Amino acid sequence: MNPLFKGWEQKAVQVLDRTLADTLPGVKSESTLPVIIEMTPNAKEEERQEIKQLCQQRKRDEIVNELKYIPMVTATICQDTLREAAHHPGVKRIFYDQQVRAYLDVAVPTVAADEAHARWGLTGKGITVAVLDTGIEAHDDLTKPENRLAGFNDLVGNETESYDDNGHGTHVAGIIAGNGYRSDGKYVGSAPEANLVGVKVLDNRGSGQVSTIMRGIDWCIQEKEQYNIRVINLSLGGPATEPYTDDPLSRMVEQAWHNGIVVCAAAGNEGPEPGTIGTPGFHPSIVTVGATYDQNTETTEDDKESEFSSRGPTVDHLNKPDVLAPGEKIVSLLAENSPLNRRIERGDLSSPLDGYVELSGTSMATPLCAGVAALLIQHNESLSPNDVKSILVSSSTHLKGSQPGYVNVVSALKLAEVYLEYGSHDVYSS
């Protein structure tokens, strides 16, 4: 056993997740650690209170938050407190609160979302997509002729007005719900009349903690009815070191799914090597989205899976991603008060039109899919998250040399009509 754990009971050492156990030897004794503490399912109320008091008993200790939908608290604690918590009978696991980041490294016509707008009149109207990201700036394409930014929750800076000090979240929001107001309809999202709720969980560098993402999802579940949140977009992620059944972020997205919210998560940008899907994208239930390069053409015949797009299998030996969508050289909204402007001035990024910028990554593919999910739900509001995923996967178009299929909106909407006519139970039975 590592000398650091001298005096620890073996079962207490096993309470620590692998990342925390590996990190601990390199941490100075006077430093604190960000952790997520999971309580045992049968922990009594007095034990829960004991654990919370334990996590703030020393001067440097601090309880950050208690989650509502899973028995976990997030805290920053010193090593002495960590040792006591690991030995507490009411504690099941302690996870290192690791960093996550934004997955940033002609799209709408390619997946035929424009045909959905024209043929079915579907635009996502009345459906709300929650964007957990760096924030959302009040861009004209989201606020004119009417403001569709339905809500904003800042878990980083505690501001009340919607903003984006990085630019990633605004770009993502435009791919979902931009209406082309400033481009005379040239750059339009896949669900151009959907409402948005911005949940700022990443800082101005595009980074954040797992616990902050979890708090954001927890909040979305609580506010689902108020805002009619039917879809969550997660263009972010981190390394997966635990099975999905243990991973805290994975378990949080599962709660959203079970509460009737479709979760679309980016596969990641660690490809083309296999086994590079991170959390939360490695959860089997949710819709995990990889990226393709559409060659700037409207046909899918010349499309190919992006080199950077993460591949499966997952740490649990499951096939992922579930679907693919355009993720290279995607033009969407530019947050004017973000660092992206300086990168445009330096020539690092392309801005084809004032107020827009071109970015690449599975971060860009995921919101396109999230917008399509909003179209499906508008078309048939009785669809469950499982229905939406089944439709997206079953109706996808397979590309040469790629296992996951390419999102095909027209085929998806036709299949959604079958669900509307016969109901989910009969479709699954058949």
The residues that are catalytic are 133, 168, 363
Tokens at 310, concatenated: 């993460």
Roughly how many angstroms between the first and final C-alpha of the chain, as a whole number?
55
Say which residue the tokens 């009785």 belong to. Answer: 382
Peptide bond into 280 cis (omega under 30): yes
| Residue 388: strand, helix, or coil | helix
Neighbours of 25 (CB within 10 A): 10
Tokens at 371, concatenated: 């917008």
Whose CA is closest to 142, among 301, 340, 379, 335? 335
Tokens at 168, concatenated: 């990633």
Point out which residues pair with 72 in neighbouring strands: 38
Read off the DSSP letter of residue 211: H
Positive/negative CA dihedral, 101, 106, 108, 111: negative
Rounded distance, CA 52 to CA 55, Å? Answer: 5
296: region left, alpha or beta (phi > 0 left; psi from -120 to 50 alpha): left
**Cα dihedral 94, 23, 157, 244 in deg (nearest 10):** -50
Q: Tell how far CA 26 is from the center of its chain.
A: 30
